[in-house]
Amino acid sequence: MSNRVGVIDYGGGNLRNVLNVLKFLGHEGSLVSSPKDLGSVDRLLFPGVGSFGDCVAELDRKKLREPIAAWLAADRPYFGICLGYQVLFEQSRETPGVKGLGIFDGEVVHFPARPGMKVPHMGWNEVTPTDPSFYVWQNTPDPLYLYFVHSYYPKPEDTSLIASTTNYGGDFASSISRGRTFAGQFHPERSQEAGLKLIANFLEAPL
């Protein structure tokens, strides 16, 4: 069954890639550029490439902050990618003083400088689910490798939110979940078959 999937239009450059992935998977995707656009979708996908501050400023300009927060509060299906993961938290050290959506307690921090460790963290890395039976991970490879491009990552205060960890100079929370909200620092749309399976699992879960 085809879903009505809203893709948050935050002004980033990879929106078309995500819409193409949805089409490939047999689902209808449409850009959400204003609050009224949320009325015509069943699931919400928030991709992200760019800076925390610019992303949040665009959400505020389009008056999408409160409607997205209300969507999440109602536990409606949400899949956040990269910035779509980071903006769920209170703030980011990338843009001090700028408030995120504040859905979860915690902040977005920069990878520490360590000898021989390149930042940004870029390329394929292993993602270790905390609960392999969770629906998003169903029928994905074990071990699971996904594609990353980032210098910052969230540190949830509530560690029970953590849905997977990844090691890069130490373990970090590479994804979180609560109810029908799932968000990860990796880019499933750039992670070939494994990433497509994650998105397909999200799209095929019961409403």
109 Cβ contact partners less than 8 Å away, ≥ 6 residues apart: 93, 152, 153, 154, 155
47 Cβ contact partners less than 8 Å away, ≥ 6 residues apart: 7, 8, 12, 14, 15, 17, 18, 81, 82, 83, 84, 189
H-assigned helices in the chain: 15-24, 52-61, 65-73, 83-86, 192-204
For residue 193, indicate whether it is catalytic.
Answer: no
Which of the following is catalytic: 27, 55, 82, 121? 82
Which of the following is catalytic: 27, 121, 150, 189? 189
For residue 27, indicate whether it is catalytic.
Answer: no
The DSSP code for 64 is: -
- Which tokens go with 168? 């890069």
* DSSP state letters, 89-126: EEEETTSTT-B---SEEEEEEEPPP-TT--SSEEEEEE
For residue 55, indicate whether it is catalytic.
Answer: no
Which of the following is catalytic: 27, 121, 150, 187? 187
The sign of the CA dihedral 56, 58, 59, 61 is: positive
Q: Which residues are catalytic?
A: 82, 187, 189
